[in-house]
Structure 1
Amino acid sequence: MRPKKITFSIAAQTAIKDAETRVKLGQNSPRLVSDYKDRLKHCDAFFGDMPISKIDARKVRDFRDELASKGLKSTAIAPVMSFVSVVLRLAHEDGLIMQKPPIPRPSQKPTPRSAFSLAEYKQLLQTLRSMEKASPPIMWKASPIDKELRWLVTFMVNGFFRPGDLFVLQHKHITIVPSNASEPAYLRIAAPASKGHANPIITMPVAVPIYNRLLSHQKAKGFGKPDDYLFLPHRRSRKYAHEIIRRQFRIALKKADLLQGPNGDERSLYSLRHSAITMRLQQGNVDLLTLARACRTSVEMIDRFYASSLTAEANRDKLFSFRHPTRYLAVSDTSTNATT
């Protein structure tokens, strides 16, 4: 097929096949492929049968403006434009276009989701316990809210997981690292690659008994095999499993009167990851690099999105503390008569 007859939609299939290959190689989460296909729907609605050789910088800007006119925010437009960039880059590499036009990037201010305070988190767990004991059961469609939702919440907080990553976890990804004389047991999780990170995750020690209870529960129902998923394993569609939990969690938030965060934004499952990270920053004694490795993110992202609500004064006890008070100061400098 001649380049002039190749449309954006045809060229986009190359990007999707490339994503499928990266998933097979373990470089990306399987969700990448479905995300690309969803983003292609936005592109098809605008570009239609337009030859990819006719797509220039003006057309790309018009596409961005079209998305904005439909009410999409910058956070929703950015991944679609990123997909357009991937398609055009591969088209240029394959000789379908002479050069890749510049891609306008919508400005994105950090918009961290509201975390739960420790008191709010305890309130949420108390609400979940009461809901799972309800008779008749509280349902979303045909799915009852039971103790599995509470286990998911606590497992997520003690493993710093992104919601999407949690639903592709299988038991074969989990290794229980036993306790020894110096440290308690914890989970080492070789999860599928996510957001460009492929290193194993380690959890807080509390995740071990949570996982053991979940595993026993799943085995009693005929699941718990290495290839079975941790949560809602009877649901083949992981996208639908995610949707079930998302809807159930929203019901729980409403019942606990915790749906709205202090900034007026709506909390979601992602707020649990935000809470997990901010709680470690506030209550733990961990450096940002170690925390970033455990969370499969970067120090920069923690600073921009998770630590943005923390002030220097909030953790002043850590700022003022030294392992050895005189290590960096002369003894005379620690006296009350010291001058500056």
Structure 2
Amino acid sequence: MNGDFHEDNMLCIVQKIHANYTVSLSELRNPSASLSGLVKSSGPVAVMEHDKALFYVVSRDWLHRLHESGGDAGRNLSPATPIEIAPPTSSSLTFAEVAQKMVLLEASRALRGAYSSESVAIIKGRLNATILPVLGHVLIGEVQAEQLQALINRMAALERSATTMSQHLVIVRKVLKLAWSRKWISEIPEIPKITIQNQPRSTFSVSQYKQMLRTAKQLVRQGALAPCVKESVSGRERFWVTPKFRTMPQDMYWLIGFMVNSFVRPSDIKLMQHKHIEVIRGERVYLRLTLPTTKKHDKPVVTLRPAVRIYESLLAKARSDGYAGPDDYLFLPKEKNREHVLAVMNFWLKWILREAGMALSDNRGQARTLYCLRHTAITFRLLYGQGIDMLTLARNARTSVDMIENFYASTLEGEMNVGMLQSRRVMRQK
């Protein structure tokens, strides 16, 4: 409902809107394909400015039906008596129009908290950049294997990975499934399967982990300057490493140890605040990390004991600097741009690897990034945790057993833990 609120008499003057959807005047000045699809499939759309309907946009089909009805539908417009418009069919709807409806449904799920707004944004981006240029103009009932193969060929030409192709086809399936559920198509065409070869991230051995810690501590003590270079932020953007980030801080030394003893992701590190951490001292000593939900996982994370000592060192420094409040960040708390913090930390990791004489990628060509520290934490537990089961480890690391088997345990070999393979159960004496 739209209207003007007057504080003097506490009345809300409401203007009736004779449409199910509204757009702003600025959107009309720069019309998009999605707006065109909305008008074509949903009837009148009200164009708003300053919370008032200026006029309505309708499709030619709707106008034609209005003319055939003698204009009675237009004269009797009211929110309680909507215009009867024939439901769309497969012969009239394009893939782009059904995709727009699917995005609206996903957006409504996000409003209810059943889906993330970030996921909706990813769907929109993939539709606009890759899927709609190939399938957008095709009538939904005519989407068959030939058109889907054309989409795959386009992604192959763009050198998209098998994983990326598979993720795009998931969106295509969502669109087709919606069309099938609304009976706009009689069946969902067979969607080609993309074979994905799992590429586990690089991990560090115990000796490499210790060498990284020694090198980080040495760089902190020396106060040496890193070379002034341009570094990648997300594979596309780049930034200059400013002078204040060209010396190694104590935070980076603590970060390496903390991640290997806590199973957290880099995305957790950049947002982790003191209010998320509780020190537990009892039969076992550990940190309980109650972090924001990541990938639909919201359970607390239990750390190993060394993480407690690292956190207490971090907390002591934070108190001396005046950054130990509940809402203060653990690492580099003075920096407000947390994406930039993560990029700088990756730069520092490369610096440490170079100084330690270690390659920036492993023997499989996988780059070594902050995420490898999480991989190392999980791998160490698989190797050296006494009798730990996959389910317990997966839940504590906020992942699934399948992910651990495919991306973490896949790098393990029998010789890495000969002792456990050759161990025997001790028989109890009766």
Normalising by the residue count of structure 1, what TM-score does the alignment of the two structures yield?
Answer: 0.78
| Counterparts of 1:85 and 1:237, CA distance in 2 | 37
Deviations 1:128-163 (CA, angstroms, capped at 9, x unpaired): 223334445436622514222222222111111222
Change (3 A) 1:244 1:110: same
Could you tell me whether the CA contact under 8 Å between 2:103 and 2:123 is conserved in 1? Answer: no
- Corresponding residue to 1:17 among 107, 111, 120: 107
Aligned length: 322
Could you tell me whether the CA contact under 8 Å between 2:135 and 2:147 is conserved in 1? Answer: no
Unaligned 5+ segments in structure 2 are 1-38, 42-92, 229-239
- Corresponding residue to 1:171 among 268, 274, 279: 274
| AA in 1 matched with 2:393 | L
| Counterparts of 1:94 and 1:318, CA distance in 2 | 56
1:120: how far off?
0.6
1:12: how far off?
6.2
Could you tell me whether the CA contact under 8 Å between 2:98 and 2:178 is conserved in 1? Answer: no
Hey, what does 2:56 align to over in structure 1? Answer: none
Hey, what does 1:189 align to over in structure 2? Answer: 289
Taking the TM superposition and a 5 Å limit, the aligned residue runs for 1:201-280 are 201-256=301-356, 257-280=358-381
Hey, what does 1:2 align to over in structure 2? Answer: 40
Hey, what does 1:314 align to over in structure 2? Answer: 416
| AA in 2 matched with 1:115 | T
Hey, what does 1:338 align to over in structure 2? Answer: none
Deviations 1:113-138 (CA, angstroms, capped at 9, x unpaired): 22111001111122222333444543
Taking the TM superposition and a 5 Å limit, the aligned residue runs for 1:1-340 are 1-3=39-41, 4=93, 7=97, 10-11=100-101, 13-14=103-104, 17-18=107-108, 20-21=110-111, 24=113, 32=119, 35-36=122-123, 38-40=125-127, 42-43=129-130, 46-47=133-134, 50=137, 53=140, 56-57=143-144, 58-86=146-174, 89=177, 101-135=189-223, 137-138=225-226, 141-142=241-242, 144=245, 145-177=248-280, 179-180=281-282, 182-183=283-284, 185-256=285-356, 257-285=358-386, 286-325=388-427
| AA in 2 matched with 1:43 | T
Q: CA RMSD in A?
A: 3.4
Could you tell me whether the CA contact under 8 Å between 1:14 and 1:87 is conserved in 2? Answer: no
| Counterparts of 1:299 and 1:78, CA distance in 2 | 21
Unaligned 5+ segments in structure 1 are 332-340
Change (3 A) 1:217 1:10: farther
| Counterparts of 1:33 and 1:167, CA distance in 2 | 23
Change (3 A) 1:252 1:316: closer
| Counterparts of 2:264 and 2:334, CA distance in 1 | 21
SS in 2 for 1:155: helix
1:11: how far off?
4.2
| Counterparts of 2:185 and 2:255, CA distance in 1 | 47
Change (3 A) 1:73 1:273: same
| Counterparts of 1:11 and 1:318, CA distance in 2 | 55
| Counterparts of 2:295 and 2:266, CA distance in 1 | 13
| Counterparts of 2:142 and 2:313, CA distance in 1 | 55
Could you tell me whether the CA contact under 8 Å between 2:362 and 2:368 is conserved in 1? Answer: yes
SS in 2 for 1:308: helix
Deviations 1:141-197 (CA, angstroms, capped at 9, x unpaired): 2251422222222211111122233323333222222x22x32x2111222222332
| Counterparts of 2:211 and 2:304, CA distance in 1 | 21
Hey, what does 2:23 align to over in structure 1? Answer: none
Change (3 A) 1:16 1:165: farther
Q: Percent identity?
A: 32
| Counterparts of 2:309 and 2:408, CA distance in 1 | 27
- Flag the structure with more relative contact order, 1 or 2, with Cα contacts below 8 A and sequence separation at least 6: 1
Structure of higher CA gyration radius: 2
